[in-house]
Chain A
C-alpha cells in the first residue's frame, strides 16, 4: 500500500521534472512566453526578472521549492496565481468524464455479454465490428459529426458551451465511443474465458437458469480484468478530454491547457498539466485499491 502510494508520487515527480526540463532546456521559456515578434531586449528583460540566467539546477530547485508551497507561479495571461484558476476548472472535467463513464460502461458490459453468450453468432460479429469501429474513430471527428448532425442540421442541441444537461450530451457521446469499444472487447474475452470453467458447468448442472449463471456467476468472476481496463479508460478520458473540451468549448482543465498554450502562458500550462496528471494518477491508484479489495490474491504491502 505504501509502495503503491510511493509509486504514484514518483510518477508525478517524474512528470514535473520532464515538464520543467522540456520547457526550460528544449525550449527557451522566455521565448516560449513572449510573442514571436518580441525584441531581443524584451527577451533579455524577461530572462532577468524570471531568473532564467541562473544555472538550470538552481532554477529547478527554486521551482520545486515553490511547488512544495503550492505556488505554481502567476498566470501571465490573467495576472493571478495559476493554481486557483486550474482548480476552478477541475469539476467540469470530472463531470464530463463521469457522465461519459456512466454512459459507456453499462453499454460495454451489455454488448460484451451479448456477444460472449453466443460466440460467432451474427450478434457477436456485429458487436465486434461496432467495438472495433469505436476504437478506430477519432473522438474529435465524431464530435464534429455530432455537431454537424444534431446542432447544425437538426438544431436539437447546442454546438458548445456549459450549463444544463443538453450541453453534456454531445461531448459525452463523442468521448464514450472509444471506451465502449475497448471495454466491450475485454468483457467478451474474459466472459468467454470464465464460461469454459468448471464452476459454470456445476451451476448449470444444479439446474440454475442460464440468466442466473451468466449474471451472478460468470460476470462476477470476469469483473477483474474489466475493472482494470475501465480504470485505464477513465484515465485515458481525462487525457483525451483535452481535444473534446476544446472542440465543444467545455470549461474544463483541458481547454484551459490549450488556451494557455495559445497565449504562451507557461506557469498556467505547467499547472494545468500537473492538475490533469494528478487526476489520472489518482484514478489509477483508486483502481488498484479496488482491485486489491475484490481479488484476495492481490496484496499491497
Chain B
C-alpha cells in the first residue's frame, strides 16, 4: 500500500501552473508523510478537527471503558436530572444530566456515537466501493456499459433521496443494517459520476498510453495507474459523504424510521428528547451538538485534504513561516 500514498496523485500528474511561486520552490522536499503532518500542524482548524474525530472514534470504540455509567441503567429517582448533578456514592457526576428514564446522558451519547459513526462509515464504505468500481468500468470501457450505468445514475440522481429512503425503510422496517444498506443504495451514484469523469480524463493521458504500449493489462492499468490518482478526490468526497450520511441517519431516526430501540443513535436521542423541550433542555441540546461537531470536523478536514493534495494550493500550507506575512499582505 505504501506506493499508493496520497503523494502519488500530485507527483504523477502535476497540473500546469502548479509550480509554487516564492521561496518554497527552493526548499528541499521532505517525504510525503512528514509533509502532511507538518501541513496539518499549520492549519489549526483542521488539526482541531482531526483531534476531535480521533478522540470521538476512540471513545466510541472503547465505550464500555470510557463511559462513566451504564447507558441502559437508570432509575426513577434520577429522572431528568439537569447537567452537573452529583451522583450518589461518590460515582462520576451526571455531567450532561439524565434522561426521562434516569440514564446518564453522557454515557448514552458515547454509546450513540458507536451507531451514528458506524452507520456513517459503513454506508460510505459500501456506496463508495460500489460507485467507484462502476465508475471505473464506465469510464474505462465506455460504449454500451457506460451508457447503461450513466443512464441509471442520471435517473437515480433525479430521485429525492431522503424520500426514497423513507419509503424503503417503511417497507423494510428500520434497524442499523437496513439503514446502512438503504443509505448506501441512495448515494452510490455520486462516486460513480466523479470516478467516471476522472477516468475519462486520465485515460487519454501519456502515462496510460505508455503503460498500454508496453503491454500492461487493463486490470493492471486501472489498479496501478488510474486508481492511485483517484484516491485523493475520492477521499475528499467520502469524507464529505460521511458527514451527509450521519445527518441523514439522524433525520430518519428522528422521524422514527431509522435506528430502532434498544439501539440508540444521536438522531434517535433527539427524537426521544423532543417531548421534553420545555422541561429538560439538555436532552435536545447535546446530541445535536455532537452531530454538529462531528459533521463540521469532517467538512473542515475534507477541505484541508482537498487543499493539501492539490498541488496548486498545497504550497500555502508548506511555505516557511516567514513567508506567511508576505503572502497575507498581497
Contacts and interface: CB of A to CB of B under 8 A. Distances in A.
Interface of A: 7-8, 10-11, 14-15, 18-19, 22-23, 26-27, 32, 120, 129, 132-133, 135-142, 144-145, 147-148, 152, 235, 238-240, 242-243, 246-247, 257-258, 261, 269, 273, 276-277, 280-281, 284
A80 to B, nearest CB: 22
A141 B284 contact: yes
B163 interface: yes
A15 B166 contact: no
A132 B162 CA distance: 21
Contacts of A258: 255
Nearest to B270: A141
B288 A145 contact: yes
B296 A136 contact: yes
B300 A144 contact: no
Interface in B293-317: 295-296, 298-300, 303
A136 B164 contact: no
B299 A136 contact: yes
A269 B270 CA distance: 25
Nearest to B278: A152
Interface in B159-218: 159-164, 166-168, 170-172
Given A138-B251, A145-B285, A22 B158 contact: no
A239 B155 contact: no
A144 B274 contact: yes
Given A136-B247, A243-B251, 7 more contacts: A136-B299, A137-B292, A144-B274, A145-B285, A239-B160, A243-B254, A273-B167
Q: Which of A10, A22, A132 has the most CB of B within 10 A?
A: A132
**Chain B residues touching A, majority SS:** helix
B45 interface: yes
Contact of A11 (B159, B267, B298, B303): B159
B255 A138 contact: no
Interface in B265-294: 267, 270, 274, 277-278, 281, 284-285, 287-288, 291-292
B67 to A, nearest CB: 22
Contacts, number: 127
Contact of B155 (A11, A120, A132): A11
Contact of A136 (B161, B292, B328): B292
Contacts of A139: 251
Contacts of A132: 296, 299-300, 303
Contacts of A144: 270, 274, 277, 284, 288
A145 B170 contact: no
B288 A138 contact: yes
Interface of B: 45, 154-156, 158-164, 166-168, 170-172, 243, 247, 250-251, 254-255, 257, 267, 270, 274, 277-278, 281, 284-285, 287-288, 291-292, 295-296, 298-300, 303, 328
B157 to A, nearest CB: 8
A257 B167 CA distance: 10
Closest 7 CB pairs of A and B: A27-B171, A141-B288, A11-B158, A136-B295, A136-B296, A239-B160, A26-B171
A133 B243 CA distance: 12
A118 to B, nearest CB: 11
Nearest to A15: B159
Contacts of B300: 132
Interface centre among B156, B158, B284 (most CB of A within 10 A): B158
Contact of A129 (B45, B254, B274, B285): B45
A139 B166 CA distance: 17
A127 B159 CA distance: 31
Given A18-B164, A235-B160, A120 B288 contact: no
